[in-house]
Amino acid sequence: MSEASIKMSVYQNSPLGAVGFEAIILAGGLGTRLRTAVPDLPKCMAPVNGKPFIAYVIDHLQKQGINKFILSLGYKSEAIIEYINQQYSFLNIQYSIEEEPLGTGGAIQLACLKATEKNVVITNGDTLFKINLDKLSTTHEQSNADCTLCLKPMNNFDRYGVVELNQHNQIISFKEKQFYQSGLINGGVYALNVKSFLNLSLPAKFSFEKDYLEKFYLSKKMIGIVQDEYFIDIGIPEDYLRAQKELMTEFR
């Protein structure tokens, strides 16, 4: 059986917990920090054990019940589109192309214009956070949140900021990057109410993290859901090399 046939079989037998959501995958970054390891490809196309990293992201979401995708692209988008059209022709995929870099917020805003569902799940094409999408979608919808962040517990780190929650799981602060012995980091996976987000009339270029999350968390309903699941961000060469070993076992 071909790889495409296997994927099609998985797709047809996927759980239905995430019905009503579609996925936006942010894959437009330049990947400048990864250039020494992967000089000629978009970051999400960096090969890991013989296939582009973005394939692991799509496969995980697909297995969680997602059947609609919007890929937000920019740098060398042609290479990504060619691969996706060859390997995932059976999926419902749209492309949102940035003519110039719009920042994470601008990219999400542009992609949301193509959304056909009330809610989207947003993730990065260079990060794999193996969340339980059933729990995310249920929490997001039952709480009627504008945005729900997936948070990853982490120890002894300085590469990420920390998110703090109150007893009702509402976000009460975002702390800057520094060394932390322990804390909850923003895993870069969000459930987002499309209408609520687009109604803010934000500028064309902005940071989702700084200009939406950190600016509106007190006025919008933003909650966090803690998921202590596998997490890797291949944004730096050290973690890209680590992915080569770890994803051999994670996707067996």
pLDDT at res. 8 = 45
3-state secondary structure 59-87: HHHHHCCCCEEEEEECCCHHHHHHHHHHH
Low-confidence stretches of the chain (pLDDT < 70) are: 1-20, 30-39, 250-252
Q: Give the pLDDT confidence score for residue 159 in this predicted structure.
A: 86
Give the Å distances, CA to CA, from 249 to 9, 107, 160, 204, 219: 21, 32, 25, 41, 42
* pTM flag (> 0.85): yes
Domain that includes residue 94, residue range: 3-250
State how many domains the chain has. Answer: 1
Angstrom distance (rounded) from CA 166 to CA 195: 26
Contacts of 75 by beta carbon, 8 Å cutoff, 6+ apart = 28, 29, 30, 31, 42
| Residue at token pair 């994927």 | 7
In CATH, what number is assigned to the domain containing residue 217?
Answer: 3.90.550.10
